[in-house]
Amino acid sequence: GSGYAKCNQLEAVAVTALDQPCLGASVDLVRFFAQIASNGVMSTPALLADGEIIFSNRVPKTQESISILKKGKGCGDAQIIS
Does the pLDDT value for residue 79 go beyond 60?
yes
Residue 6: pLDDT over 80: yes
Q: Which amino acid is at 12?
A: A
What is the C-alpha separation between 21 and 10, in angstroms, rounded?
A: 19
Provide the edge-to-edge strand list for the sheet that holds 46-49.
Answer: 26-30, 77-81, 46-49, 52-56
The pTM of this model reads: 0.72
In the chain, DSSP assigns E strands to 26-30, 46-49, 52-56, 77-81
Convert the pLDDT of each residue in 42-53 to its tens digit: 888 888 887 888
